[in-house]
Amino acid sequence: MHRIRTTNSDPEKKRQKKMNAFISPTTYEIKFHELVLFILEKKMGATRRTFLMDLARKKGFRVENELSNSVTHIVAENNSGSDVLAWLKAHKMEMTTQFELLDVSWLIECMKAGKPVDTKGKYLLMKNRVSLANPDPTAGTLKILPPAVKAISQYACQRRTTLSNHNQRFTDAFEILAKNYEFRENDGRCLTFLRATSVLKCLPFAIVSMKDTEGLPWIGDDVKSVMEEIIEDGESLEVQAVLNDERYQSFKLFTSVFGVGLKTADKWYRMGFRTLSKIRSDKSLKLTKMQKAGFQYYEDLVGCVSKAEADAVNLLVKEAVWTFLPDALITITGGFRRGKEFGHDVDFLITSPGAEKEQEDKLLQKVTNLWEKQGLLLYCDLIESTFEDLKLPSRKVDALDHFQKCFLILKLYHQRGDRSKWEVPAGSNEPEVKNWKAIRVDLVVCPYDRHAYALLGWSGSRQFERDLRRYATHEKKMMLDNHALYDKTKRIFLGAKTEEEIFAHLGLEYIEPWERNA
């Protein structure tokens, strides 16, 4: 549930719709992205509410017409905190996030100051933040949260998540369960644990008791049962059962091979395979070109790529691309852009402000031909562009983009300073030791006017991108993907030269790449 909904009769909906018609459609620049206001009409009246909403928007505040999970402050007039809560409960409002209840005098002081003022003291209708938890759609339940708990959004794109994870004992367990549900193609259960993982990763503290989870979004009963086990016993029996499950072990092993997805893993498992050596030795199996490369360089590819190796590949890519397109902008994306020290591959986004379309279309072919001549190209799968300039963004949260790209395996030689580790001394009877490593590399080329959207999409993390698109759809009535942002209300595409501009279009506070590790 992404929007607040009422379960009242049609007259209530008609009244709300009529009231919304009075609200000015004029848009103003949002200056204070950390606050999202909702002004309660109860005892205030529609005319005064409309006036205050418009005034607040002119001052740079974000004000919602309807209650939603993005709301951080509810403003009321001539109401006590219990009056507001009673109204919310009576109207069966559903909210998974936390908010503050404030008297209208706070908003008036904000208007005088031209900026948010402190919410403490006389303005608060209740001392603590509030959350509406509603597991049963037929009955609203109110939860009063301790003031020390900061509101956590249900959307990863409204949370800052660094690589500092204080709850790894829980998130490691959740990721195992999520992977198992992915192997079983149970998308709903998989998403349940991925969302819970994302929430716990953003917390600035370690959870030591279940009381610490009060008010957190996406922490449902299934998640809580696993957490309770870990807190009480140090481990989860469900997780241990998954780790010992033969099917899970086989799928994890099979999908570790480059080019092997769930369908192939399931096929091999049903055929009775349990080890890679058996698959390699079975001549009756028809492997794809990608899978053959995956097996050939398996020992290198299954290991992690270090930041130092990624930096070396970065130099290799820039040297090759600039040979054919000197003004090209080349950005390392994915986990390494988010500050990770290790990854499984290295992704690059390439664009050029002055390149002709023909130059862009031929760039990757020229670059891979050069590497082939240099003896560095071990595998290449070039995907031609199917990008259409005026095509609407995809409605699918996990949709791939249509830019030209190639999936590569490159030969990365060890640095000269380390060659003594890899080379055999002269006259030795030892076999020659390999002095290079196979590295997975993805190159993506996009038009310059789409660079900001492609950069945002390819930087990740996956859950951050999912929630960013979900937020655009459910909270802003927009459509977002790696190509564009479309406003369905205004029926226009919104241009952006930087990631910051995309966040601004969505009314979101900008989040740095290293804070997107959701």
Distance CA 49, CA 24 (A): 12
Q: Which of 83, 222, 442, 449 is catalytic?
A: 442
Q: Where are the beta strands (DSSP E) in 122-176?
A: 130-133, 141-144
Helix (H, G, I), strand (E, B) or coil at 517: coil
CB neighbours of 198 closer than 8 A, spacing ≥ 6? 156, 159, 161, 218, 463, 467, 518
487: annotated active-site residue: no
Q: Which of 251, 238, 239, 166 is nearest to 201 (CA)?
A: 166
- DSSP label of 516: B
Phi/psi of residue 310, nearest 5 degrees: -65, -40
Q: Which of 345, 401, 467, 481 is catalytic?
A: 345
Length of the chain: 518
442: annotated active-site residue: yes
302-310 long-range contacts (CB < 8 A, ≥24 apart) are 302/256, 304/342, 304/343, 304/344, 305/342, 305/343, 305/344, 305/345, 305/346, 305/439, 305/440, 306/341, 306/342, 307/336, 307/340, 307/341, 307/342, 309/346, 309/412, 309/437, 309/439, 310/336, 310/343, 310/346
Distance CA 251, CA 279 (A): 13
Other CB atoms within 10 Å distance of the CB of residue 367: 24
Compute CA distances 323 → 88, 364, 372, 439, whole Å: 64, 12, 15, 22
Kindly report whether the peptide bond that precedes residue 198 is cis, defined as omega within 30 degrees of 0.
no
HSE on the CB side for 168, CA within 13 Å?
5
Residue type, 346: V
CB neighbours of 408 closer than 8 A, spacing ≥ 6? 368, 377, 378, 379, 380, 381, 440, 441, 442, 443
3-state secondary structure 399-422: CCCCCEEEEEEEEEECCHHHHHHH
Q: Which of 347, 401, 467, 481 is catalytic?
A: 347
Other CB atoms within 10 Å distance of the CB of residue 136: 8
Q: 139-151 in b/e burial notation, b at 16+ Cβ within 10 A?
A: ebeeeebeeebeb
467: annotated active-site residue: no
Q: 287-317 in b/e burial notation, b at 16+ Cβ within 10 A?
A: beeebebbbbbbebbeeebeeebbebbbebb
How buried is 362 (Cβ within 10 angstroms: 0-12 exposed, 13-18 middle, 19+ buried)?
middle
Helix (H, G, I), strand (E, B) or coil at 388: coil
Unique residue bearing structure tokens 């997975």: 440
Q: Which residues are catalytic?
A: 345, 347, 442
